[in-house]
Structure 1
Amino acid sequence: MALRNDSGSSRSGIRKTKKHHFLRYTLLILAFLLVGGTCYGFYQYHQLNPGNHFRNLKTVGAAKATDPLKKYKQKAGTFNMLLIGSDARKGDVLSHTDSMLLIHADLNKHTYNILSIPRDTRVPLQGYGYTKLTSVQYVSQANHGAKQGIIDAVSSISSLTGVPINYYAETNYSGLQYMVDAIGGIDMKLPFSVTLTHPWYHEDKGKVFSAGTHSLNGKMVAELTHERDSLPGTDYGRQQLQQAALIGIAQKMMTPSNVTKFPALSQSLSKFLVATNMTTDDMISIGLGVKSDFHPKQQIKYRQVQGKVVTMYDDALQANNSEVVLDPGQLQSVVKSYFTN
Structure 2
Amino acid sequence: MTEGNFVDYVKIHLTSGNGGKGSTHLHREKYVAKGGPDGGDGGRGGHVIIRGNDNLWTLFHLKFKRHLRAGHGEHGSSGRSTGADGEDVYLDVPLGTVIRDTETNEVIFEITYNGEERIICEGGMGGRGNWHFKSATNQTPRYAQPGTPLEEKHVTLELKLLADVGLVGFPNAGKSTLLSVITSAKPKIADYEFTTLKPNLGIVEYRDFQTFVMADIPGIIEGAAEGKGLGYYFLRHIERNSTLLFLIPADAEDITKQYEILLDELRRYNPEMLDKDRLIAISKCDMLDDELQAELKVELDEKLGVDYMFISAVAQQGITELKDKLWKMLNV
TM-score, structure 2 length as denominator? Answer: 0.24
TM-score, structure 1 length as denominator? Answer: 0.23
Higher relative contact order (CA 8 A, sep 6+): 1
Higher helix proportion (structure 1 or 2): 1
